[in-house]
Structure 1
Amino acid sequence: MNFVIVTGMSGAGKSSAINCFEDMGYYCVDNLPPTLIKSFAELIVSQQNKLSKVVLGIDTRGGSLFADLFTSLNELQKSGHTYEIVFFDCSDAELIKRFKETRRLHPLARSERIEEGIERERRILREIKEKANHIIDTSYMLPKDTRGVLYKIYCEDKAFDSLMITIVSFGFKYGIPIDADLVFDVRFAPNPYYIPEMRPHTGNESIVSDYVMQFEVSQTFLTKLQDMIAFLIPNFKKEGKNQLVIAIGCTGGKHRSVTLANALYDYLQNEGHTVIKQHRDIEKDSKRGK
């Protein structure tokens, strides 16, 4: 029997992932003490109606019990079973934001700052992250994005693209995304903001996107950008990178950056990459150029 071990940083989306697995027909057990993994496997096998798809949620809430994880997994293998590890990660800034929004305490920082709990948990989880079969970074992901990634791996049986690519459109007037790996300035493209009938619309609408992309300078930039990203992706993977954030900015983050971010997103999706997008500033009201 093959077991799927779901683990990772607190707040990174493990609980949502386990719900997704349940929807896909897996039998799921969350927060199982690692010392009970072997006994649980024996119990499952002894049943007449054997379960073929089992997910075990393991995290640091078990305290010192978590240290027994690798011993238990080795015993599982000796018993003839196999397992794979899905590790959910997230940026420190996003984890802090999530804990503050939900007003929950970090399990490893009951009487300390959230940052200290996150740092301690990263140290504890370092080894299991290194041994994970799949690392899913949810920094920019919504629950539906997580569901899509898991469905692709476990229902469609497609190879998981270990590099999660996030495309962010933004407005320079609101600041560059602090976690961006690559930043591109598209303020050179003709600006729809100065055409009154286009001003209230966004790059998500054809009236704006068609205008931006009709110019040779926009088309040439997109072609060169696609070529460069196609070159970089395999090299990033060789270095073990699992999250790539590409930020595309114009003045206000509503017209040009959105149009070109959408175009790059479509290209990467068609190429089979794992990619999500976020239009960070598209809803922000502004009286200046977009």
Structure 2
Amino acid sequence: MAARPGTFPRLLLVTGMSGAGKSTVLHALEDMGWDCVDNLPTSLLEAFVHGERGARRKIPVAVGMDVRSRGFDPQTLPSLIQSIEGVTPEILYLDCAGSELIRRYDETRRRHPLAPDRPAEDGVAKERASTAALRDLADTLIDTTDLTPAELREELRSRYGGDIDQPVLTIVSFGFARGISRTADLVFDMRFADNPHWVPELQPMTGEDRAVQDYCSSDVAWTPAMAQIESLLITLIPRYWAAGKSYLTVAFGCTGGRHRSVAAAVEMANRLREAGFSPNVRHRDLAKPQSDAVEDTPAEKPSGTGPSMKSGARDGNDAGE
């Protein structure tokens, strides 16, 4: 089916074999910002697409229809969606091998809508014959026989994501003394580095200040560690997207959550932007009052390997780091 020229938003008819993954497709499209509805009666299609009277649709819409939908007619449905003004109509047909469909019906213990009192294979055969015209006219055909749900979502992102599909990447800083970040998918502990909290002129500052960032980066282990973390994230982030993850949170922790973790989060966000990502940055504990009691927990000994301290500062790492 040829798409109507212009810049109208897309109208995607999601149809095909029952059990081939229509619900998974609609959920994935909804996550990508589409307006979605399933099993809409054909008599309500135009009203749903147009929404409020006189309002021009601005975002794409996906409508799931199959043999369970009221008024479903594979012969007239293509011309019906072509007749709707203000959208670019497309058909996505989901196919699947009969044996796999029968296995899915058996697993879910559901009856095929066209064979409620007959074996599932009878319903599959009848449905395949009745929807053949839609299959022939489809703009896109996806066979889900060997696709996992994650692989199907990735296929949809590549075809229908466009600029809408932007998984959310967040870089978080936090303080271990106030509890580990509960939303983090990946956590990196920055307490190996010398602590700016014990440098008098740096103590009132935060990791957002250039002086603190320079102090952290002067630690001999800082830059190699950050480079390796960057390399790891550049490798892993696309794999998380490919697995269907819509949100990914990378957390950097130090003791109080004001200096090293903040500096690391800011630096890593900049590194990832240069690599083509668009991370958000959130500093969980930055607004909380700093305290020597928070920083000074007898967990570590000074390393003596970091940058030299200025007058009045403690030697090496702080005890709590």
Question: What's the TM-score, normalizing by structure 1?
Answer: 0.53
1:93-112 matches, cutoff 5 A: none
| Contact in 2 for aligned 1:161/1:274 (Cα 8 Å) | no
- 2:286 is matched with 282
- 1:79 is matched with 81
The gaps in structure 1 that reach 5 residues or longer are 9-16, 19-28, 59-65, 85-125, 135-156
- 2:237 is matched with 233
1:158-207: per-residue Cα shift (whole Å, max 9, x none)? 74564321111000011111121111100111111001111011011112
**Alignment equivalent of 2:222, drawn from 202, 218, 235:** 218
1:130-175: per-residue Cα shift (whole Å, max 9, x none)? 69967xxxxxxxxxxxxxxxxxxxxxx9745643211110000111
Q: Does the C-alpha gap of structure 1 residues 79 and 203 become closer, same or farther in structure 2, counting only changes over 3 Å? A: same
1:247-280: per-residue Cα shift (whole Å, max 9, x none)? 1000000000000101111111222223111100
| Contact in 2 for aligned 1:192/1:255 (Cα 8 Å) | yes
Taking the aligned partners of 1:2 and 1:273, their CA distance within structure 2 comes to 26
Q: Does the C-alpha gap of structure 1 residues 224 and 161 become closer, same or farther in structure 2, counting only changes over 3 Å? A: farther
| Contact in 1 for aligned 2:154/2:243 (Cα 8 Å) | no
Taking the aligned partners of 2:64 and 2:163, their CA distance within structure 1 comes to 31
**Structure 1 residue 171 and structure 2 residue 175: aligned?**
yes
Taking every aligned residue pair, what percent have the same amino acid on both sides? 29
2:205 match: secondary structure: coil
Question: What's the TM-score, normalizing by structure 2?
Answer: 0.49
1:153-164 matches, cutoff 5 A: 159=163, 162-164=166-168
| Contact in 2 for aligned 1:76/1:82 (Cα 8 Å) | no
1:232 match: secondary structure: helix
| Contact in 2 for aligned 1:163/1:274 (Cα 8 Å) | no
- Larger % of helix: which? 1
Count of residues in correspondence between the two structures: 198
- 1:180 is matched with 184
Q: Which residue identity lines up with residue 39 of structure 1 in the other structure?
A: A
**Structure 1 residue 2 and structure 2 residue 9: aligned?**
yes
Q: Which residue identity lines up with residue 255 of structure 1 in the other structure?
A: H
1:1-290 matches, cutoff 5 A: 1-3=8-10, 36-39=44-47, 41=49, 51=56, 53-55=57-59, 78-80=80-82, 81-82=87-88, 159=163, 162-288=166-292, 289=295
The gaps in structure 2 that reach 5 residues or longer are 1-7, 13-25, 28-32, 91-148, 296-320
Rg larger for: 2
CA-CA distance at 1:71 after TM superposition = 5.4
Taking the aligned partners of 1:205 and 1:77, their CA distance within structure 2 comes to 62
- 1:11 is matched with none
